[in-house]
Amino acid sequence: MSEMNFKKVGQTFQVAMTKEGAWWYVFAPGTPVASQGQTEEEALFMIKDALELGFEISGVEVENITNTPEGQTAIQKELADLAQVDY
């Protein structure tokens, strides 16, 4: 098994989340990265992992902006964008 070599160490990303049915959907505004989990904690863990892998960064931290005006705006935009996707 090969070891992953990360280009950067430590970075903080803002994330916002919303509950859709039984799942928490979480995304990092301004990036293409999103994830989900059955609990808020699991969703936050999963988005950290996705950000680390996607940007090849170790030690990612997340700032949950869900309950801020900026976070609410990001959630509304994300949901509107998702509604326009043709599955």
Q: What is the mean pLDDT of residues 48-72?
A: 93
- Which pLDDT score is estimated for 81? 86
Q: Predicted confidence band at 52 (pLDDT cuts at 50, 70, 90)?
A: very high
Fold of the domain spanning 10-83? Double Stranded RNA Binding Domain (3.30.160)
* 27 three-state secondary structure: strand
d(CA 23, CA 21): 6
86: its two tokens: 């043709």
Listed in sequence order, the DSSP H helices in 1-87 are: 40-55, 69-83
- Select the more confidently predicted residue: 9 or 59: 59
pTM over 0.75: yes
Tell which residue, 87, 63, 85, has the closest CA to residue 74: 63
> Where in the chain are the domains?
10-83
Instruction: Give which of 9, 6, 11 is closest to 61, Cα–Cα.
Output: 11
| Top-confidence residue, 47 or 86 | 47
CB atoms closer than 10 angstroms to residue 66: 17
What is the arithmetic mean of pLDDT over 27-35? 94
pLDDT over threshold 90, residue 85: no
